[in-house]
A and B are shown apart, each in its own frame.
Chain A
Amino acid sequence: MRIKSGLSRQLSQRTAFGVLLVATVAVVLVTLFIIIRIAISGAGALSWTFLTQSPTDAGRAGGIFPAIVGTFYLMLGTLILALPIGVLAGIYLSEYAPKNWLTRVINLAIINLAGVPSIVFGLFGLGVFVLMLKFGMSLLAASLTLACQALAMTITTSREALLAVPREYREGSLAIGATKWQTIRHVILPQARPGIITGAVLAMSRAAGESAPILIVGAAFLIPGLPQSPFDRFMALPYHLYTVATQVPGMPGDTKWAVALVLLAVVLSFNVLATIVRLRARRRRV
């Protein structure tokens, strides 16, 4: 390192911090721009009819009610399938797992599962749930596919939430004669609940915004009415946005923005919910 005069060192510090600040401000501004732009442009076409009616004229008129319902079904399906397994696996990894090769392999599998591209999950869902298990292009196949994708997240967040429970809780419970499972069930799990819920809510938000896998395993652009059974096809907000933005000629501009706004509102409200759960839990513990 060359020795410079104090003045030039001060100057280079100011320039460098200026550059870092610009990078940070740029990230913040772009994020806010995207959200605010969608809110403003989408608000114009938003109406009660738009939220509660079925689409007509290939999505150019009418509403997006079936897509909203389809997305909620998918979120619910993902939650029901991925949360219990995530919590159980999290319990094993935090409370039972010995330090051996199998535990290492499980952890490695989780990390890599989290990095698998969503379109590959789509291929997996198509091969296994749609064709091999013969669920067809359906809500069930899509929920199972999204649940596989959410698994890494629900396991990781459950494990971390359980590991964060202080040792004293476990020792105190065991000392008064509780069995290991009673300790987990009545002492550790309640303490870890906010963390587990945060993960579950984030997984649902992720499932709501995912389009690539459901494009392969069963989302439909237009179907009359709502899905009546898990074996029916379904509409979903992200897939609807993709289609109205790219596949429908003569689509009214503000309708597209309104679809984007509703999708964003669903996804981000669950994100914010997760943040609130986490912050409230943190405050209570302090």
Chain B
Amino acid sequence: MGERIIEGGIFLASLLAIVVLLGIVALLLRQGLPIFSYAPPWAFLFGTRWYPVSEPPTFGIAPFFVATLWVTAVATAVAVPVGVGCAAYLSEVARPAIRETVKPIIELLAGLPSVVMGFIGLLILSPLIQSMFNLNTGLSGLSAGIMLSLMSLPVIVTVSEDAMRAIPDDFRQAAYALGATKWEVVRYVAIPAALSGIAAAIMLGIGRAIGETMTVLMIAGGALAVPVTPTVPMMPMTAAIASGIGNAVRGGLQYQALFAIGLLLFLMTLAVNLVADTVLERQKRKFQR
């Protein structure tokens, strides 16, 4: 009897993840959707003017959306070659002792809070970027993207390395038997066989970069124009929510618009994570026996 109650409690606890996820969806829909009766979806998504307190207010989120694309693109361009290279080195080349030293350091990188990354970007990277590219300000999508690349690196390295290490050793042995050098094994066997896992790792890294808030809030620059190059100040979607929500009247139009941005953000990361998870599951099954 008592055991029945405990087991019931255990079952209910396991449902909580679903409850929270559905709760997030329900809340974002309920608070965010009403904005579309004021600003139709296409005007909201493609409008280039965000003037929430003008009379009448306009809510076009294209500047934020494009900014998110820029910082994510920069972050991905930096993090993918470095991350996959690092993963290949750790999985295929490094001696165990080196591997066991580097992995905890990557865990440390993963543990650095995003506000600390923003802080370093503000005081060290931005001035550097400003003088390197001769800009009016170093607070730009470029600076933010570079700091974001550091935050998506750990997941890219870890997941790619796991994918490469999961390849059965016979694959490598077969290539060696054909006279391949170690690099040729990496290049023509390990990386291709792990490719879907590496792709999933990159997706997860992208998801991380899209959703990151504090770093972009602090160093992306916060300008409201649609950014045409990555070197100008800009305001990604996460930063738009964080900087606007404090001043928005609860239940007002701006409040609704910010929740609608949250909804879009949620859908984007959801899509990225679902694809990554599907790919990872398939990769896992591939070498199972």
Contacts and interface: CB of A to CB of B under 8 A. Distances in A.
Interface of A: 1, 9-10, 12-13, 16-17, 19-24, 26-28, 30-32, 34-35, 37-38, 84-85, 88-89, 91-93, 96-97, 105-106, 108-124, 126-128, 131, 148, 151-152, 155, 179-181, 205, 208-212, 215-216, 238-239, 241-242, 245-246, 256, 260, 263-264, 267-268, 271, 275
Contact of A242 (B21, B90, B115, B272): B115
Interface residues of B, number: 84
| A interface secondary structure, majority | helix
B106 A117 contact: no
Contact of A181 (B6, B89, B118): B6
Given A212-B238, A264-B116, A17 B245 contact: no
Interface in B185-217: 186-188, 204, 207, 210-214, 217
B10 A212 contact: no
A38 B116 contact: yes
15 contacts: A16-B186, A23-B89, A27-B157, A31-B109, A88-B10, A112-B21, A113-B20, A117-B211, A117-B212, A117-B265, A119-B262, A209-B114, A212-B217, A216-B245, A238-B113
Given A120-B28, A126-B245, A24 B118 contact: no
Given A96-B11, A106-B17, A117 B266 contact: yes
A183 to B, nearest CB: 11
Contacts of A110: 17
Contact of B21 (A109, A119, A263): A109
A263 B116 contact: yes
Given A27-B157, A117-B210, A245 B82 contact: no
Contacts of B207: 115
Contact of A151 (B16, B28, B124, B259): B16
| B interface secondary structure, majority | helix
Interface of B: 3, 6-7, 9-11, 13-18, 20-21, 23-24, 27-28, 31, 81-83, 85-86, 88-90, 93-94, 102, 104-109, 111-116, 118-120, 122-124, 150, 153, 157, 181-184, 186-188, 204, 207, 210-214, 217-218, 238, 241-242, 245-246, 250, 258-259, 262, 265-266, 269-270, 272-274, 277
A270 B3 CA distance: 35
A96 B10 contact: yes
Contacts of A208: 113
A65 B222 CA distance: 31
A89 B17 CA distance: 9
Nearest to A238: B115
B14 A97 contact: yes
A93 B14 contact: yes
A204 to B, nearest CB: 12
Contacts of A26: 82
B113 A120 contact: no
B218 to A, nearest CB: 6
Given A181-B6, A245-B122, A119 B238 contact: yes
B187 A16 contact: yes
B220 to A, nearest CB: 12
Contacts of A239: 115
A159 to B, nearest CB: 9
Given A17-B183, A131-B250, A211-B114, A245 B218 contact: yes
B183 A12 contact: yes
B17 A155 contact: yes
